[in-house]
Amino acid sequence: MNYKVGQIVYLLSRKDIKIFPAQVIEEIRRKTLDKEIISYILRLPNKDRSEVLLDEINADVFTSLEDVDSKMKKNAHEQINGFLKRAKDMESIFNPPDLDTEDKEKERSSTEDHQLVSHENNDKSLAEVDLGNGMKGKINLSELPV
């Protein structure tokens, strides 16, 4: 990309999540037999007003804060999507219950409350009654009016 001397550019650090402005203070053109190479010197906003070669900076260069904003939002969106994908992939380690079967079991269980349940013993005329709240009673089926 080409810049103009005096132009303000914005550097998005690749190492830290920091944005800082810099000013293009020099353009260096070198011509060889094969190509022309253009380099830029930037002045940094530190107290020493350091000057560095643009190619030596570990940062992405933008010409507007709007471009920096778009890039950072895109990066954040991609990172969030990566987190979500990894979470979705990891959920496969679980054996999720068959919700239809679980719902049917709950329904069946609730209808069995307060109903007669046969009691396994030698006397087939006795039944156990679930009274709810963990209480059970016994009833003699032969004594019931039919």
131 lies in a domain? yes
Domain, as residue range, for 135: 99-143
- Do residues 61 and 106 share a domain? no
84 lies in a domain? no
- Dump pLDDT digits (tens) for 47-75: 999 999 999 999 999 999 999 999 999 98
Number of domains in the chain: 2
Secondary structure of residue 59 in the 3-state scheme: strand
**Per-chain mean pLDDT for the chain:** 81
Query: The CATH number of the domain where 43 resides is what?
Result: 2.30.30
Tokens of 35: 């190509």
How far is residue 26 from each of residues 3, 22, 78, measured CA to CA in Å?
10, 12, 36
- Do residues 1 and 61 share a domain? yes
- The more confident residue out of 71 and 102 is 71
- H runs (alpha helix) in 22-128: 65-90, 99-112
